[in-house]
């Protein structure tokens, strides 16, 4: 809770500073310094292509919230989904994973002073962008803290308030619908897609991979449900990927909430070998401030990798473009155990003038790891 | 960047077509009349650009293109967020041909980046209207996608229409029809007049600001009214008052020019901007095919002070060849300015991204006669990492001129 509080305070201090204009100049200078430093890690590695023609890809989108509340940034998000749709065949894309915080505000009627789009416009825009992928690709999204309540998650009482299930109802995309394996159901309540286990056929030696997509800071009953499901005969020997909004923090630190999840779920479930998350991002937007990778050893002695990817603040949060079109390619190698991670900007990759900026090559942005079998 | 084979074929096909058309028409005109204002060496230079590009292999073409980029890079600067240079000035936004944004789904959202940028800046820049030089889409009416693209005509028109929803009821938008907005792939003779789907997708009922701007429409007996030839009123306020935008079809027919001539007599005291797709070429020459517009119409109509057009930029081009500007003197000795803006091939040629989000900001100064032109990229301007590329500052991209009133 403490870490979360610190992040929240820092977050607000910087927003107020930047929006009020008092620290605007210092702030912009710091942003530009970060830009200069990070620029050295950018390269032109050509058009995205599979490194091995037999491999298959999953696309990882970080938090998209900052693309939505300002009209001028919105088309960048569609650039990303349109690019994914175009590359489904060439990159053999099997699924899209989204780390949550789909929009800035879940249910607000006004748009606030810093922005020009209210919640309805934000949800409708994201939903519009994902039309490019409907019936083409399973899209696995989860709610982040901004997808609950009015502004954002405000305690356990705001569970099930996300509008996400309404706008991303699986009926819109039969590929997602087919991929649903089990849905967490609560008594006396509507079913939501906050907690779902999806089945993705990655093909080759990988076979079926299960994506466990969970709500923000999953409740005890959700964790128990997942453990029970994973113990079933069918999933016993399968690979599972956990997708949840808040887990790893920058510099590969595991905050308290994450430790709870680690102790109660990840460590105990031998199927889970990879955890993907977003949520944490340094406001000045350096690459290192929003991407990290670490590995831990679980109860059966196997490595569990966890990845943080949340480019929402890349260079200046609300003053930036919302994330500069950065997305991740997770390339599942034909050996059935190696995953190559690369980070690509659709925004820069589109123009010959800027394609030299399209790939991030620092060790936390471009790496590969091998899962223990 | 790699170009798939199908794209190469397309470029070659279009190159050949364009070379043939320009070379033959240029030679024929030179031979027949001899009174053509265009010096032969300029036409030769124009032709040679196509010939050079056409002989190249894919790799050579990319190397050639890379050279262009390196040449242009030093002219790109970070001049900060766009703002008005003088209090009381008003702005008109100019879109060049948007055709190349539409046929490939992966590049389509760049066009929406442009319209959202305009929508967001309406108040700040005091934007009064938007001009579009035509060639809204790549193919007017084809059922399937061609030449390595992935969107058919319906998808292309719907996308363009969707992007402009951002501006509906906010500012008036003025289009003219380009060659690609007629026929199947492109204009195929005067018989294809009336086939453009522009009027269907950009019906003015969608935007009350445009609807209320219409002053006159060219009508043909027994045919529906079309937006191909329209006179609009645009209120700029201040010393400018009301100015008029006359939008004429691609390759205007004799009867259309006669109608326009007659119409302009009524507005001879006013400031009228002519918007038509094909007029100037890079190299600052009036295209031989379009000289009749000058002789039969502009020269004789003192109301026309300024001509805006698109259409003519080679594939794999530098900034300089995607624009043109010139000054002529009309029959009563007043200056007429004309300007071509067509960034369609900047973002990777005719099969590239469509033009890197470049648009022009025409700032009408409070003195009532000066227009400041600047060239801005909404694609580069959106991100702090690339905003140093967002302004083109070469003299042909950033200049001002004073209308002869």
Helix, strand or coil, per DSSP, at residue B22:
helix
Helix, strand or coil, per DSSP, at residue B375:
strand
Helix, strand or coil, per DSSP, at residue B281:
strand
Whether the Cβ atoms of residue A306 and residue A248 lie closer than 8 Å to each other = yes
Question: Model-level pTM?
Answer: 0.87
Model confidence pLDDT, tens digit, residues B251-269: 999 999 999 999 999 999 9
Contact flag A351-B356 (C-beta cutoff 8 Å): yes
Model confidence pLDDT, tens digit, residues A230-246: 999 999 899 999 999 99
Sign of CA dihedral A80, A84, A90, A93: positive
A82 chain-B contacts, CB cut-off 8 A: 105-109
Contact flag A348-B353 (C-beta cutoff 8 Å): no
Whether the Cβ atoms of residue B282 and residue B312 lie closer than 8 Å to each other = yes
Out of B2, B120, B386, name the one closest to residue A348 (CB).
Answer: B386
Q: What is the mean pLDDT of residues B351-375?
A: 95
Using 50, 70 and 90 to split pLDDT, how confident is the model at B351?
Answer: confident
pLDDT of residue A308: 96
pLDDT of residue B394: 94
pLDDT of residue B237: 87
- Give the DSSP H or E segment for B21: helix B5-32
pLDDT of residue B68: 84
Q: A319 versus A264: which is more confidently predicted? A: A264
Contact flag A82-B386 (C-beta cutoff 8 Å): no
Q: What is the mean pLDDT of residues B175-185?
A: 94
Q: What separation in angstroms does the CA of B170 have from each of A119, A134, A244, B121? A: 22, 31, 41, 11
Asked if the model's pLDDT at residue B45 lies above 70, the reply is no
CA distance A85 to chain B (A): 8
Asked if the model's pLDDT at residue A319 lies above 80, the reply is no
pLDDT of residue A316: 62
Residue A61 phi, psi (nearest 5): -100, 135
Q: What is the mean pLDDT of residues A265-278?
A: 95
Q: What is the mean pLDDT of residues A315-323?
A: 75
Q: Which one of B162, B353, B384 would you mutate to disrupt binding with A, by most A Cβ within 10 Å of its Cβ?
A: B384
pLDDT of residue B50: 67
Taking one residue from A and the other from B, the number of pairs with CB-CB distance under 8 angstroms is 103
Model confidence pLDDT, tens digit, residues B66-110: 888 888 888 999 998 899 999 999 999 999 999 999 999 999 999
B119 chain-A contacts, CB cut-off 8 A: 71
pLDDT of residue B32: 35
Max Cα-Cα span within chain A: 60
**Mean pLDDT for chain B overall:** 87
Q: Within an 8 Å CB–CB cutoff, is residue B1 touching chain A?
A: yes
Residues 320-349 of chain B with CB under 8 A from chain A are: 347-348
Whether the Cβ atoms of residue B287 and residue B279 lie closer than 8 Å to each other = yes
Residues 6+ apart with CB under 8 A from B57: none
- Give the DSSP H or E segment for B234: strand B230-237
Cβ neighbours, 10 Å, residue B144 = 10
Q: Within an 8 Å CB–CB cutoff, is residue B164 touching chain A?
A: no
pLDDT of residue A34: 80
The 3-state secondary structure of chain A reads CHHHHHHHHHHHHHHHHHHHCCCHHHHHHHHHHHHHHHHCCEECCCCCCCCCCCCEEEEEECCCHHHCCCHHHHHHHHHHHHHHHHHCCCCCEEEEEECCCCCCCCCCCCCCCCCCCCHHHHHHHHHHHHHHHCCCCCEECCCCHHHCCCCCCCCHHHCCCCCHHHHCCHHHCHHHHHHEEEECCCCCCCCCCCCEEEEEEEECCCEEEEEEECCCCCCHHHHHHHHHHHCCCCCCCCEEEEECCCCCEHHHECCHHHHHHHHHHHCCCCCEEEEEECCCCCCCCCCCCCEEEEEEECCCCCEEEEEEECHHHCCCHHHCCCCCCEEEEEEECCCCCEEEEEEEEHHHHCCCCCHHHCEECCCCCCEEEECCC
pLDDT of residue A14: 44
Model confidence pLDDT, tens digit, residues B366-375: 999 999 999 9
- Beta pairing partners, B377: B358
A72 chain-B contacts, CB cut-off 8 A: 113, 116-117, 120, 382
Using 50, 70 and 90 to split pLDDT, how confident is the model at B42?
Answer: low
Contact flag A350-B2 (C-beta cutoff 8 Å): no
Q: A8 versus B60: which is more confidently predicted? A: B60
| Strand bridging mode A180-183 / A291-297 | unpaired
A85 chain-B contacts, CB cut-off 8 A: 105-106
Contact flag B116-A75 (C-beta cutoff 8 Å): yes
Long-range pairs for A258-261 at CB < 8 Å and ≥24 separation? A260/A217, A261/A217, A261/A218, A261/A223
Using 50, 70 and 90 to split pLDDT, how confident is the model at B354?
Answer: very high
Asked if the model's pLDDT at residue B31 lies above 90, the reply is no
Whether the Cβ atoms of residue A331 and residue A339 lie closer than 8 Å to each other = yes
Contact flag B347-A320 (C-beta cutoff 8 Å): no
Contact flag B389-A39 (C-beta cutoff 8 Å): no
Q: What is the mean pLDDT of residues A263-286?
A: 91
Burial class (CB in 10 A: 0-12, 13-18, 19+), B200: exposed
Which one, of A113, A111, A130, A131, lies nearest residue A121 by Cα? A111
Report the chain B residue with the minimal C-alpha distance to residue A44: B1
Asked if the model's pLDDT at residue A354 lies above 60, the reply is yes
Contact flag A353-B108 (C-beta cutoff 8 Å): no
Asked if the model's pLDDT at residue B27 lies above 50, the reply is no
pLDDT of residue B350: 82
Model confidence pLDDT, tens digit, residues A99-109: 999 999 999 99
CA distance A272 to chain B (A): 34
Q: Which one of A311, A353, A360 would you mutate to disrupt binding with B, by most B Cβ within 10 Å of its Cβ?
A: A353
Q: What separation in angstroms does the CA of A74 have from each of A117, A321, B157? A: 10, 9, 20
Using 50, 70 and 90 to split pLDDT, how confident is the model at B377?
Answer: very high
Q: What is the mean pLDDT of residues A49-62?
A: 96
CA distance B168 to chain A (A): 15
B356 chain-A contacts, CB cut-off 8 A: 351, 353
Q: What is the mean pLDDT of residues A105-132?
A: 94
Using 50, 70 and 90 to split pLDDT, how confident is the model at A15?
Answer: very low
Q: A13 versus A313: which is more confidently predicted? A: A313
Model confidence pLDDT, tens digit, residues A196-218: 999 999 998 999 999 999 999 99
């Amino acid at each position: 809770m403490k870490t979360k509080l610190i992040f929240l305070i820092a977050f607000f201090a910087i927003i107020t500073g930047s929006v009020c204009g008092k620290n605007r100049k210092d702030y912009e200078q710091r942003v530009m310094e970060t830009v200069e430093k990070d620029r050295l890690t950018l390269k032109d590695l050509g058009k995205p292509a599979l490194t091995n023609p037999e491999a298959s890809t999953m696309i990882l989108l970080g938090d998209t919230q900052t693309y939505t509340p300002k009209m001028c940034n919105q088309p960048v998000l569609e650039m990303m989904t349109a690019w994914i749709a175009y590359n489904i065949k060439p990159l053999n894309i099997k699924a899209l994973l989204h780390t949550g915080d789909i929009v800035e505000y879940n249910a607000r009627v006004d748009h606030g002073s810093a922005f020009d789009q209210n919640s309805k416009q934000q949800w409708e825009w994201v939903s519009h962008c994902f039309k490019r992928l409907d019936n083409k690709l399973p899209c696995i999204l989860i709610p982040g803290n901004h997808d609950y309540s009015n502004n954002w998650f405000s305690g356990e009482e705001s569970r099930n308030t996300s509008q996400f299930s309404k706008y991303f109802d699986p009926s819109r995309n039969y590929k997602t619908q087919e991929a649903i394996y089990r849905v967490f159901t609560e008594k006396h309540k509507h079913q939501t897609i906050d907690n779902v286990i999806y089945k993705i056929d990655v093909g080759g030696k990988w076979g079926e991979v299960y994506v466990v997509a969970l709500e923000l800071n999953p409740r005890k009953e959700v964790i128990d449900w997942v453990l029970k499901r994973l113990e079933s005969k069918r999933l016993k020997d399968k690979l599972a990927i956990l997708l949840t909004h808040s887990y790893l923090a920058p510099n590969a630190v595991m905050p308290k909430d994450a430790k709870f999840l680690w102790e109660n779920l990840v460590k105990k479930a031998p199927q889970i070998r990879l955890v993907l998350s977003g949520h944490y991002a340094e406001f000045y937007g350096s690459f290192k401030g929003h991407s990290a990778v670490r590995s831990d050893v679980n109860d059966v002695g196997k490595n569990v990798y966890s990845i943080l990817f949340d480019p929402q603040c890349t260079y200046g949060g609300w003053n930036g473009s919302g994330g500069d079109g950065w997305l991740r390619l997770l390339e599942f190698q034909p050996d059935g155990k190696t995953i190559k991670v690369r980070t690509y900007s659709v925004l820069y990759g589109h123009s010959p003038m800027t394609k030299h900026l399209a790939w991030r090559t620092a060790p936390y942005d471009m790496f590969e790891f091998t899962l223990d079998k | 960047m790699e170009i798939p084979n199908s794209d190469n074929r397309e470029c070659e096909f279009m190159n050949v077509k364009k070379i043939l058309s320009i070379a033959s028409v240029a030679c024929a005109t030179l031979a027949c009349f001899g009174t053509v204002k265009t010096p032969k060496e300029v036409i030769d230079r124009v032709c040679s650009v196509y010939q050079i590009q056409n002989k190249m292999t894919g790799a050579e073409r990319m190397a050639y293109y890379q050279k262009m980029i390196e040449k242009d890079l030093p002219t790109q600067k970070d001049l900060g967020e766009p703002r008005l240079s003088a209090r009381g000035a008003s702005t008109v936004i100019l879109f060049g041909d948007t055709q190349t944004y539409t046929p490939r789904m992966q590049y389509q959202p760049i066009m929406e980046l442009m319209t959202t940028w305009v929508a967001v800046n309406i108040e700040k820049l005091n934007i009064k209207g938007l001009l579009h030089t035509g060639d809204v889409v790549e193919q007017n009416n084809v059922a399937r996608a061609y030449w390595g693209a992935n969107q058919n005509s319906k998808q292309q028109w719907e996308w363009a229409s969707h992007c402009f929803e951002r501006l509906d009821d906010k500012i008036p938008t003025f289009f003219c029809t380009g060659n690609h907005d007629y026929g199947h792939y492109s204009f195929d003779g005067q018989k294809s007049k009336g086939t453009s789907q522009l009027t269907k997708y950009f019906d003015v009922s969608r935007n009350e600001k445009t609807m209320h701007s219409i002053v006159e429409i060219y009508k043909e007996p027994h045919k529906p009214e079309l937006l191909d030839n329209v006179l609009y009123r645009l209120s700029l306020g201040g010393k400018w008052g009301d100015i008029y935008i006359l939008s004429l079809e691609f390759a205007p027919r004799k009867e259309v020019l006669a109608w326009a001539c007659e119409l302009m007599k009524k507005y001879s005291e006013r400031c009228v901007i002519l918007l038509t797709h094909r007029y100037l070429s890079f190299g600052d020459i009036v295209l031989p095919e379009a000289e009749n517009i000058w002789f039969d119409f502009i020269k004789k109509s003192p109301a026309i002070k300024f001509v805006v057009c698109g259409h003519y930029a080679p594939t794999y081009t530098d900034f300089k060849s995607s624009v043109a500007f010139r000054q002529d003197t009309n029959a009563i000795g007043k200056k007429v300015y004309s300007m071509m803006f067509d960034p369609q091939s900047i973002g990777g040629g005719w099969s590239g991204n469509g033009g890197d989000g470049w648009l022009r900001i025409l700032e009408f100064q409070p003195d009532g006669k000066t227009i400041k032109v600047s060239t801005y990229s909404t694609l580069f301007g959106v991100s702090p990492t690339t905003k140093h590329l967002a302004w083109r500052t070469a003299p042909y991209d950033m200049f001002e001129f004073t209308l002869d009133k």
